[in-house]
A and B are shown apart, each in its own frame.
Chain A
């Protein structure tokens, strides 16, 4: 009840904050900041030290899963892709990426599951399951420190535009767009918490609120619920389009996975 009551209070405060129309504009490159920079010294320290970062537990699980045979093919990820430290380097930094078979972008979780079902002949892993988060974290960990690198071509442009449109569209009972907080008011605070620029540099990440690792889609679904909008199911095209836009919007920023956030 505590959190719920507080959320109502915050929702009302947020509604008051945005009565005046704000000028919408994307964050200029020189002013882009990771959520890391908005955190306390202690939470940064938790992310920086691998031996104390709880996300390490998932990365190590992912490493074990990478090498474990699965499905009717009796093959492990490593049987085709070898050492992930080499083969998966910088891969996550360009996801969501275009899938020619589906003729649309897929996120990394969907790419991993496509491999499981199509190549390993194993059942798909459930969204937010420990195994899917672990594999995603392990693959993404191989891009840590590397710049996000989304390239847009004629095939992906419509999906980027759909994601951008969603970011600027007012949604939910609070009638707020993502951009109103994360482009226009990122230097401010919502209740006691800093409003960040919403750059997805560290997913899957360990969120203190979750007390566990979670995906970017989990975060987006939480945001939508916060706006009192109806959320989309995991893997929905609307969420992947938004992920594509957010990653593109963060192009050039360094990956931090597994990040820690409050």
Chain B
């Protein structure tokens, strides 16, 4: 499906001078981003099964500006030497690159999690995956709506 944003970009690119052609969207963009996401996911989990649960990914559902979106991940775990979270990965499905952050931690963290601020290029699904010390993977995802600010700087066209 073509989003409003992609439509606007394509429409503008088709109207603009040849210099704008550099910025023209690849018609296979959606498929390429999906493939990039699948590849990034594969690097994180290998062939392992990813189960829903244990992970809580928090993002505001409606976002003032995609340049800086508060994101936090918390994973349920006793965080002992025998049973803890080894890594937390955050991936996006429609950013130019799927990777956001990868956290490497251990029992000394006390609680498994991270709070940060991320860039979201578009309305999309964000995924957090936790790798546990027993080798299992758990995940949560969140749908976010990114709106464009009305009063952007630079010029109009």
CB atoms of A1 and B13 under 8 A apart:
yes
* C-alpha gap A68/B16 in the complex (Å): 49
**Please, what's the 1-or-0 string for A28-61, where 1 marks a CB less than 8 Å from any CB in chain B?**
0000000000011111011000000000000000
Partner of B65 from the list A5, A6, A190, A262 (CB cut-off 8 Å) is A262
**Contact residues of A: prevailing secondary structure:** helix
CB atoms of A4 and B157 under 8 A apart:
yes
Contacts of A11 in B (CB 8 A): 156
One of B84-92, B105-113, B131-139, B143-151 at the interface: B143-151
CB atoms of B70 and A46 under 8 A apart:
yes
Interface contacts (Cβ under 8 Å), in number, total 97
Residue B153 at the chain A interface, CB threshold 8 Å: yes
CB atoms of B70 and A226 under 8 A apart:
no
Chain A CB within 10 Å, residue with most, of B12, B20, B67, B117: B12
CB atoms of B155 and A225 under 8 A apart:
yes
Residue A152 at the chain B interface, CB threshold 8 Å: no
Contacts of A46 in B (CB 8 A): 68, 70, 117
Contacts of B13 in A (CB 8 A): 1
Contacts of B65 in A (CB 8 A): 43, 208-209, 262
* C-alpha gap A45/B70 in the complex (Å): 10
CB atoms of B68 and A7 under 8 A apart:
no
CB atoms of B9 and A193 under 8 A apart:
no
Beyond A2-B5, A208-B67, is A7–B152 a contact (Cβ under 8 Å)?
yes
Residue A191 at the chain B interface, CB threshold 8 Å: yes
CB atoms of A192 and B148 under 8 A apart:
yes
* C-alpha gap A232/B154 in the complex (Å): 14
Chain B CB within 10 Å, residue with most, of A5, A190, A223, A262: A5
Contacts of A19 in B (CB 8 A): none
Residue B11 at the chain A interface, CB threshold 8 Å: yes
* Distance (whole angstroms) from the CB of A67 to the closest CB of chain B: 30
CB atoms of A40 and B156 under 8 A apart:
no
Partner of B157 from the list A7, A192, A210 (CB cut-off 8 Å) is A7
* C-alpha gap A152/B114 in the complex (Å): 50
Residue A8 at the chain B interface, CB threshold 8 Å: yes
Residue B103 at the chain A interface, CB threshold 8 Å: no
**Please, what's the 1-or-0 string for B60-91, where 1 marks a CB less than 8 Å from any CB in chain A?**
10111101111000000000000000000000
Listed in ascending order, the chain A residues whose CB lies under 8 Å from chain B are 1-11, 39-43, 45-46, 189-193, 208-211, 222-223, 225-226, 228, 262
Give 25 A-B contacts (CB < 8 Å), ordered by A residue. A1-B9, A1-B16, A5-B9, A6-B5, A6-B8, A7-B155, A10-B150, A39-B64, A41-B60, A42-B60, A42-B70, A46-B68, A190-B151, A191-B147, A192-B147, A193-B149, A193-B150, A208-B67, A208-B68, A209-B153, A222-B152, A222-B153, A225-B154, A226-B151, A262-B64
Listed in ascending order, the chain B residues whose CB lies under 8 Å from chain A are 5, 8-9, 11-13, 16, 20, 23-24, 60, 62-65, 67-70, 117, 147-157
